[in-house]
Structure 1
Amino acid sequence: MTLGLAVTGRLGLYINPDSTWFAVSMSIFVLAGAVGSFALPLGAEADHGHDHGDDHAPHVEGGGSHGGDDRPRHGPSAFGLAATVTGGVVASGVVVLTLVLPPASLSAELAMSRDVGAPPLFAGQDAVTLATTGDTSAFGVGEWASVFATTTNPEAFDGDPVELTGFVTPGDDGDFDLSRLVITHCVIDAQPASIPVLDESLPATGQWVTVTGTVRSSSDGRLAIVATGVEQIDEPEDPYEY
């Protein structure tokens, strides 16, 4: 499944692309081990090599020997065989469905449910330090969300031009929030990043948009984006930031 997603370019919907090499190499290793396991004869896992030979086994009256190899061997039980077949069918079905069905990105509703109002954890003082140098051209929603939440000098960013893509969520400090899910390792640790946007238009919640505008600082020191354009777009091929 992992190899199939990597070949079709969809693995980035599940994990950070920086980890693709590790996931793919481990999948190849596991796949090779799984294929190699079929070389073992059926029942070999029960043979622990306890055949010590007749030279060292104490003989008892009646011709028997302790530790001999004359124990009856039984094949797999009907229940065990049925459980194996059922497990194989279910596991194969899950893999096939994962490969055939298109993967869905995490929704805006999930992003809002994970938004607890705390400052973002995916960027630290390094982002703010970089921003104060004036180099904010490569910043995404995640970096700007960190700057908006942690800066002690909002005037330093007043007037910075931005062009950002994200989805719309309800806002408190603006007409709406521009949001994005930021992934550190995989979708399990995805965190929402949101920045307020001031604009007369109000796209529907969950609608993807590209916002162009300028960062402005209010009299109370809050930062927001004053939009000069809000273009509604389809969900991008890579909906996450990393």
Structure 2
Amino acid sequence: MEITPLLSLFGDMSQLDFVKLNFNQESVNMMNLAIAFIMFGVALSIRPGHFRTVFLNPKPVVIGAVAQYVVLPALTYLLVLIIRPSTPVALGMILIAACPGGNVSNLISSVSKANVTLSLSLTTITTVMSLIMTPFNFAFWGGLYAKHSPLLVPISIDPIEMFRTVFLILGIPVILGMFIGMRFPKFSKRMDKPIQAASVIFFIGFIVAALAGNFSIFIKYIHLIFLLVLLHNGLAFSSGY
């Protein structure tokens, strides 16, 4: 007897297989600029000694990396087995789970008064690890779910391009922010909250702009994608604990 996919209760999930978002190079450049500004603001309160503390106690970093590249992909695989979305959607979820943590997590850590240095360290380390772990996880877990799917193609990450991008949107803003924070501590302390607020506004503005460019698609498919996103993000947050 054929088992009905759980998410079929919310509509035909195969509709998502042919959706194309309006996201051009200008949008990517704006996103990178927003991330660079966010990282600059986050780094104003960071000092080199903070990183030394993190690396003298590497356990949280190791746990975070394992949660990112072992626990989350495995749980995502179990999730797609349970809800059984279409193959392209399932592989998309597995690919997301195989990617490193994003830079925006550093802003969230800063706003929530969490350990920003640990967050930044994890972002950097998992990004470097993604050269190997992202292709491996996608091939492994994707192969288990849909071994013969034509969508299951090897992922190739250009290390030079990746390091260039990371240096531009992570390295330079963080180094500059730390330098200004140490060189002009009173100024950086006074500007910390305004820059943090501006970072949040900048990021929200980017989301609004991206949503505006795809609003008709958002309205048409929100009833299908909302539960998927909610479940997957809930799983990601839960795996962190």
Asked if TM exceeds 0.5, the reply is no
- The structure with the largest alpha-carbon Rg is 1
Richer in helix (by share): 2
TM-score (norm 2): 0.25
TM-score (norm 1): 0.24
